[in-house]
Amino acid sequence: SGKSDPQPAGRSLDFPVSVVLPAGGTGERTGLQTPKQFCSFLGRPLISYTIQAFERVSWIQSIVVAVAKENMDLMTDIIQRFQHRKVRAVPGGSTRHRSICSGVLALREKEQEGKERLALDRPKVVIIHDAVRPFVEEDFLYKIAMAAKEQGAAGAIRPLVSTVIATTSEGYLDHSLERAKYRASEMPQGFRYDVIYQAYQRCTESDFEFGTECLHLALQYCGTNAKLIEGPPTLWKVTYKRDLAAAESIIKETLSRSACIVTGGSAQAAALADALQKAVGALDMELDIIPELKGDNGRYLLKEWNFIQVSVSHPCLSGVDALLADLEAANRALLHPLVVIWVHLSGSDELSISRSMAKHVAIMDLGSAAKLRNILLYGIQLHQSEDTEHWERSVLRAAEITSMLIRERSPALVGQLLQA
């Protein structure tokens, strides 16, 4: 399936764990109209990335997203479009705590009739996370779940970035806190189901209205002192407009680590692939070379690879056609736009305008069609040269363009035949 995005073999847990994602925020701080959790990155809303981060963890059985009523249809559509299977959307409340509470209660409910869902156990541990912290990793979730089971509650902390100060009522400095003694409380947090359930049963309307900190409720109403676990910087919350660019950059970097060159088996193409591999490798991207995607090489269809189809002399796009068909069959562009680059080395006999124009038109047409299926097709043309220096410069330029195309994934460049 196109959804497989396996993490390094994770440990397993022998108790059921579910997740609640409160996603009712209004996005005030980004200065954008769309709430942050629904802002799109490479065509997919942020919340889908966060869901994916949990869904790929084998020991997480289900995820409840609590959304504002007006976003329920949008959320349902996201779950369907991106084929999220462990997820259910429930109506959230008017505050963060009310939304979390809705999610926690939903985990008690019998599954609705008529829906073909697995009968799930009541979770032993609930992980609560923010929809706008998409980069949480399995290792850290494991630590939180284990500590929550053992201690009743656990939460992520981070060092303070700024000094925290107390102000007088007139807006003057009263005193500053000693930074080393305090921490920022972040997400995820984990709770034994009975602890978080009781906390919400016992807490006041004022807590529901003005509180933010689940750890505080667990302490106040259940006497549970949460275990605090230092988390990595990737736990950060997409809060301001600038964070959208930061998140996009992390997502793009994750998708740009490796590419697979398909040569079609020709020796000339293999030689060109070798030259490219050397040049792109120097730019810090990993390239594998294979003759075709058949057999064992089908494994390249299962992971986050980008694809480069190389051809020499005959400017034929049939190799690209076949590659596109394989990628589509593997559903590889479901979660991210996929990059395919056609690298063509023109022979010196190939100077007719008709052929040159035909190439431009053919790749533009193929690119426009592929784009509708979330595949971004670009072309790069090299010219044969006896002059070694000229040739090396061309290969280097082709490598730079390749690396840029894979990293940027620009829709505006789809179908272009770039000159190396």
Q: Which of residues 136-195 bind its own copies (CB under 8 A)?
A: 151, 153, 155, 157-158, 160-168, 171-177, 179, 181-186
Q: Can you give the length of the chain in residues? A: 420
* Using rule CB under 8 A, residue 105 touches its own copies: no
CB 417 within 8 A of CB 380: yes
Q: Which does 181 bind (CB under 5 to 8 A by kind): Mg ion, its own copies, none?
A: its own copies
Give the nearest distance from C-beta 128 to Mg ion in angstroms.
Answer: 7
What single letter denotes the amino acid at residue 65?
V
Give the nearest distance from C-beta 58 to Mg ion in angstroms.
Answer: 26
Q: Which does 401 bind (CB under 5 to 8 A by kind): Mg ion, its own copies, none?
A: its own copies
What single letter denotes the amino acid at residue 376?
L
Give the nearest distance from C-beta 76 to its own copies in angstroms.
Answer: 30
Nearer to its own copies among residue 229 and residue 338 (C-beta): 229
Give the nearest distance from C-beta 249 to its own copies in angstroms.
Answer: 3
- Residue among 403, 418, 396 nearest 279 (CA): 396
Classify residue 80 by its DSSP letter.
Answer: H
Q: Which does 214 bind (CB under 5 to 8 A by kind): Mg ion, its own copies, none?
A: Mg ion
* Using rule CB under 8 A, residue 34 touches its own copies: no
How many Cβ atoms from other residues are within 10 Å of residue 386's Cβ? 7
Q: Are strands 44-45 and 40-41 parallel, antiparallel or unpaired?
A: antiparallel
Give the nearest distance from C-beta 326 to Mg ion in angstroms.
Answer: 45
- Residue among 28, 48, 145 nearest 89 (CA): 48
Of 145-153, 214-222, 231-239, 250-258: span binding Mg ion (CB under 5 A): 214-222
φ and ψ at 258, to 5 degrees?
Answer: -150, 150
Q: What is the DSSP string of 307-375?
A: EEEEEESS---HHHHHHHHHHHHTTTTSSS-EEEEEEEEE-TT---HHHHHHHHHHHHHHHHHHHTTTE
Nearer to Mg ion among residue 44 and residue 129 (C-beta): 129
Nearer to its own copies among residue 42 and residue 157 (C-beta): 157
Give the nearest distance from C-beta 189 to Mg ion in angstroms.
Answer: 6
Nearer to its own copies among residue 334 and residue 404 (C-beta): 404
Nearer to its own copies among residue 115 and residue 181 (C-beta): 181
CB 186 within 8 A of CB 156: yes
User: What sections of 88-137 are H helices per DSSP?
Assistant: 96-106
Positions in 333-392 near its own copies (CB under 8 A):
351-353, 356, 360, 364
Positions in 209-268 near its own copies (CB under 8 A):
212-213, 215-216, 219, 225-229, 233, 236-237, 239-243, 245-250
How many Cβ atoms from other residues are within 10 Å of residue 230's Cβ? 13
Cα separation of 91 and 93, whole Å?
Answer: 7
Positions in 154-213 near Mg ion (CB under 5 A):
213
Rg from Cα positions in the chain: 26
* Using rule CB under 5 A, residue 214 touches Mg ion: yes
Nearer to its own copies among residue 213 and residue 304 (C-beta): 213
Rule CB under 5 A: which residues touch Mg ion?
213-214
